[in-house]
Amino acid sequence: MTEPEPALSVVVPMFNEESVLPLLVARLRAVLDDLGEAYEVVAVDDGSTDGTTTGLHTLRAVWPELRVLRLRRNSGHQAALVAGLLRARGRYVVSIDADLQDPPEVIAAMLRLARADQLDIVYGVRADRSRDTVFKRWTAAGYYRLMRRLVGKQVPAQAGDFRLLSRAAVEALRELPERQPVLRLVVPWLGFPSGEVAYQRQDRAAGRTKYPLSRMAGLAAESVTSFSAAPLRVATWLGLGGVAVCGVLVVVAVLAWCNGATVTGWPSLYVAILFLGAVQLLCLGLLGEYVARIYTAVQGRPAYFVASDSVARAGSEPVEL
Ligand code: UDP
Ligand code: MG
């Protein structure tokens, strides 16, 4: 690395964000130029198929601090974030969404807090969720409650992927063997001193969400299976419970037989068969979740491919990796 490391890197994953790009640049650049320190913006183009790619390259001519990391295909928000974080060069690295739901102005406050209190991690925490739908609020509350139980109290509630990491924290992330860590769980788990900055989450400035319900459910399932083997034990408990219920039923049947009351039997038989079938399927499904995780881990495929990485200087050719 020949260039001196900047004080701050800002990582922005983008997937088809052409409509929001000009708005983002206007606000983000104003904030960062005002800091009066060397910085770089790592725009991770997550395989966009709209005008984002050309938009970013045009911008580089007028914004020398902009660096464009292009992924070969759409790899998802988390993978794009990891790609950007691990390549960022700043002493502090902030990750922020492109859609201006996280106000760029908060970055300055994060940096101040990290320096004043010598913190390695500063979370952006949502002050309130009144703008979200009831459904999103409920599912998010349930998600964070579960995660605090699984990972520990250090997981801040209502903190998404808007956060600041020190160089030390980024290096710790790099050492993890996981190809695709769930950042919002792994980061608190690292155990660095951390702080919070509250902010008001805004509405998406333009374009539409890339996080449909199926992706949210996927993230939740991955969060659980990446941090806990408890669901596997559910199978054992269900099995034990099933055995206990069957034991009781046998006693009841024997007593009924002793009293001369013959059991006609079909309903109970049905219930038993269905119950056992359901328990077995459930347990198989749970096992499958973990086997799938082992499978992807064993395959060891990278979560993303970097197609090109422009250096932070206008006019220079992208470096092919
Ligand atoms: N994003 C990405 N790759 C994807 C999906 C999303 O890089 O496959 C980016 C997106 O451009 C945005 C951020 O991740 O900057 C958050 O996505 P979005 O705003 O759509 O999610 P929401 O805020 O609705 O949960
Ligand atoms: Mg968004």
- At 312 the pLDDT is 47
Strand partners, 199: 126
| Number of other CB atoms surrounding residue 110 within 10 Å | 25
| 73 has pLDDT over 60 | yes
| 215 has pLDDT over 50 | yes
| 320 has pLDDT over 50 | no
**Structure tokens, 265:** 């039997």
Distance 204 CA to ligand 1 centre (A): 10
Average pLDDT over residues 282-298: 82
| 82 has pLDDT over 90 | yes
- Give the pLDDT confidence of 142-165 residue by residue, as tens digits: 888 888 888 888 888 888 899 999
The CA distance from 138 to 145, in Å, is 11
Does ligand 1 lie within 6 Å of residue 98's CB atom? yes
- At 214 the pLDDT is 82
**Near ion ligand 2, which residues have CB within 5 Å?**
97, 99, 101
Does ligand 1 lie within 6 Å of residue 202's CB atom? no
pTM of the full structure:
0.80
- At 285 the pLDDT is 78
- At 229 the pLDDT is 74
Say if residues 107 and 10 touch (Cβ distance below 8 Å): yes
Q: Ligand 1 atom closest to Cα of 46?
A: 7
Say if residues 42 and 69 touch (Cβ distance below 8 Å): yes
- At 188 the pLDDT is 92
Q: Ligand 1 atom closest to Cα of 97?
A: 15
Distance 249 CA to ligand 2 centre (A): 53
Distance 121 CA to ligand 1 centre (A): 22
| 125 has pLDDT over 70 | yes
- Give the pLDDT confidence of 234-260 residue by residue, as tens digits: 777 787 787 788 778 778 877 877 887
Please state the separation of Cα 237 from the chain's center in Å: 30
| 319 has pLDDT over 70 | no
In terms of average pLDDT, the best of 209-218, 237-246, 301-310 is 301-310
- At 143 the pLDDT is 87
